[in-house]
Amino acid sequence: MIRLNYFTRDDFSQLLDWVPTESFMIQWAGTGFTFPLHIHQLERYLKEANQPASDTFIYKAVEEATDKTIGHASLKIDRRNESGRIRNVLIGDESMRGKGAGLHLIQALTNEAFGTFKLHRVSLGVFDFNEAAIACYEKAGFQKEGCLRDARKCRNEYWSLWEMSLLENEWKERMGDRMK
């Protein structure tokens, strides 16, 4: 299982190590950062996050069994519309990939979004070629809403982006199923 702890300056070096190339960074963060990722960008990213009145909450994913940080993600909240967007999802510890850690991370984030923040809707974007992530999000209950064709450019290539979402009532149904 995964526990979410706030991402802090102490976690910068690990995240910097996890983002080795420009194409990997674009998959992780879209256009939110420029390559190479630098500590100054992470300072800006964290500057107004993780406060009670913030609209951005940045987390590290901690594997509960080992207390080891294995990933990263953020949740951007639109309080007026009671919606949120999961961003910057990464299982950085390569030894944990393909073992369900991504699903546990997404479940922890949706529990935070719907349980703690009482949101109505949570969305995310995922590149169409990232089949493992798409399967993970669908397993967590997210539904494809539409594809933004050629939405991002990486070097000389365009990437299409699936928009996906999960609604509060769908999450509640899934939570009820998990309790049975």
Residue 179 has pLDDT above 70, yes or no: no
What percentage of residues in the chain have a pLDDT greater than 70? 98
DSSP secondary structure letter of residue 180: -
pLDDT tier, 176 (very low <50, low <70, confident <90, very high otherwise) = confident
Residue 180: pLDDT over 70: no
Write the secondary structure of 18-79 as one string of H (helix), E (strand) and C (coil).
HCCCHHHHHHHHCCCCCCCCCHHHHHHHHCCCCCCCCCEEEEEEEECCCCEEEEEEEEEEEC
CATH of the domain at 24: 3.40.630.30
For residue 77, give its domain range. Answer: 2-179
The CA distance from 115 to 110, in Å, is: 8
Model-level pTM? 0.95
What does the pLDDT look like over 22-59, one tens digit per residue? 999 999 998 889 999 999 999 999 999 999 999 999 99
Domain count, the chain: 1
| Tokens representing residue 142 in the block | 């997210």
What kind and span of H or E run contains 145?
strand 143-154
Q: What is the pLDDT, as a whole number, of residue 177?
A: 72
Q: What is the mean pLDDT of residues 5-21?
A: 97
Ramachandran quadrant class, 155 (left: phi over 0; alpha: psi -120 to 50; beta: rest)? left
Tens-place pLDDT, residues 117-158 = 999 999 999 999 999 999 999 999 999 999 999 999 998 999
Report percent pLDDT > 90 for the chain.
94
What is the separation of C-alpha 94 from the centre of its chain, rounded to a whole number of angstroms? Answer: 16
Q: Say whether 134 sits in a helix, a strand or coil.
A: helix
- The pLDDT tens digits of the residues spanning 60-78 come to 999 999 999 999 999 999 9
Spatial distance between the Cα atoms of 150 and 29, rounded to a whole number of angstroms:
16
